[in-house]
Amino acid sequence: MTLLIEESAASTQKKAHKVRGKVRLREHLMGWLFVGPFGIVFLALLIAPLAYALYLSLWQKKLIGGTNFVFLGNYVKAFTDPTFLSGVWFVVRFSLVAIPLQIVIALAMALIVDAVTSLFTRFSRLMIFLPYAIPTVIGAVMWGFLYSKSFGPLTDIFGLFGATAPDFFSKNLIFYGLINVVTWQWAGYYMIILYAALQGIDPSLYEAARMDGAGKWQIALRIKIPLIAPALLLILVFSLIGTLQFFNEPQILRYLAAGTIAPGFTPNMYAYQQAFALANFNYGSAISFALGGVVFVCVYAFLFFTRKRRSFL
């Protein structure tokens, strides 16, 4: 067997000049053969729709005069449209509160579950991860029950202390009501990713740090957290992309929080309303694209700042 491989390796070397062109062509063909099917789906269901949405967003449909080419007119309209702007402002504010909160909780849980090995922590790990198995829609439905005045527990619980229950469907508190839903939904998932990263750290590093006199807290802060920074960054970027596209939870709670969550509450809800309720596909596409632009700018800005910050550390 070894002989055979050696022999063939030697003969390959000899013939290398002759067959190089042939081998290369074969490698190109096989590469594209494997990547091709995905490539077709990618072109048909990602590139083509994106290009089409861009095209649509440059036109405007009027009752009189038909469809006209307006170039960036829809974008000018979007970025001066108070509904769109307030939606963007909402998701940006929401991201600034929800993401750090989720990450801090996830990180704390991951550090505990990593440092303390007991049956209970193993059980907790599973239970905290459980909400990830729940579709976001069902999660929102479930929290909708808990917030409800007619059959939620809040009235009873606050009644025990003689207080009135907070109404998470009111204009003032809906922000926190939604923060709670997404934290519940995602913190466990992030915890598992961070925990997996923590488990990948070489334990001899802790040993060395202990020799140098580092305590548990110092090990957590100075060794564990810096070493899982790539995983933290990955989570931050994905949760930023996801949160800016906020749709499912407010769309579901909209029925219960009638009057609080308007159809244009988040940019994605606004795009949905424009396209599917008002059949204004041009403006809907423009809003989607404008939101994509906002996502891109936010992610880029975030990556820029974190890179800079790290060079200081």
Partner 1 sequence: MTARSRTAGRQRPQRHFPLQVLLGFLVVYFLVPFWWVIVNSSKDAPGLFGGGNTMWFADRIDYVENLTRLFTYDGGIYGRWILNSTLYALAGGVGATILSVMAGYGFAKYRFAGRRFSFSVMLGALMVPATALVIPTFIMFSGLGLTNTIWAVILPSLLNPFGVYLMHVYARDAVPDEILDAARADGAGEIRTFFRVAFPLMRPAVVTVLLLSAVASWNNYFLPLAMLSDNRLFPVTVGLGVWQGVASANNAGSTSLWSLIILGALVSVIPLVIAFFTLQRHWRGGLSVGGLR
What residues numbered 133-172 form the site for partner 1, per CB under 8 A? 133-139, 141-146, 150-153, 156
3-state SS, 165-214, equals CCCCCCCCCHHHHHHHHHHHHHHHHHHHHHHHHHHCCCCHHHHHHHHCCC
Q: What are 137-146's contacts with CB under 8 Å, separation 24+? A: 137/248, 137/252, 139/181, 139/184, 139/185, 139/249, 140/181, 140/248, 140/249, 140/252, 140/253, 141/252, 143/177, 143/180, 143/181, 143/184, 143/253, 144/252, 144/253, 144/256
> HSE-up of 46 (CA within 13 Å, CB side)?
6
Site string for partner 1, 169-198 (x = CB under 8 A): ---------------x---x---xxx-xx-
Q: Would you count residue 229 as binding partner 1 (CB under 8 A)?
A: no
Q: Is 219 exposed, middle or buried (0-12, 13-18, 19+ CB in 10 A)?
A: middle
Which residue, 163 or 312, has its beta carbon nearer to partner 1? 163
Q: Is 109 in the site for partner 1 (CB under 8 A)?
A: yes
Least Å distance, CB 51 to partner 1, is: 8
Count of residues in contact with partner 1, rule CB under 8 A = 107
Interface segment toward partner 1; rule CB under 8 A; list 14-22, 75-83, 85-93, 204-212: 204-212
* C-alpha to C-alpha distance for 260 and 171, rounded to whole angstroms: 5
Residue 223 Cβ vs partner 1, minimum distance, rounded to whole Å? 14
Count each helix (H run) and each strand (E run) in the chain, helices first.
15, 2
Rg (alpha carbons) of the chain, rounded to whole number: 27
- Min separation Cβ 59 and partner 1, Å: 12
Least distance CB 68 / partner 1 (angstroms):
18
Binding status of residue 60 toward partner 1 by CB under 8 A: no
Q: How is residue 84 written in tokens?
A: 């769109």
Other C-beta atoms within 10 Å of 281: how many? 17
Q: Which of 67, 104, 171, 207 binds partner 1 (CB under 8 A)?
A: 207
Between residues 168 and 289, which has the closer beta carbon with respect to partner 1? Answer: 289
Q: Please give the residues from 69 up to 108 whose contact with partner 1 meets the rule CB under 8 A.
A: 105
Residue with tokens 């006209």: 68
Residue closer to partner 1, measured from CB, 3 or 63:
3
Map residues 31-50 to x or -, x wherever contact with partner 1 holds by CB under 8 A: xxxxx-xxx-xx--xx-xxx
Please report whether residue 281 would count as binding partner 1 according to CB under 8 A. Answer: yes
Site for partner 1 (CB under 8 A): which residue of 3, 211, 258, 313? 258
Q: How far is the CB of 248 from partner 1 (least distance, A)?
A: 5
Nearest residue (CB) to partner 1, 97 versus 138: 138
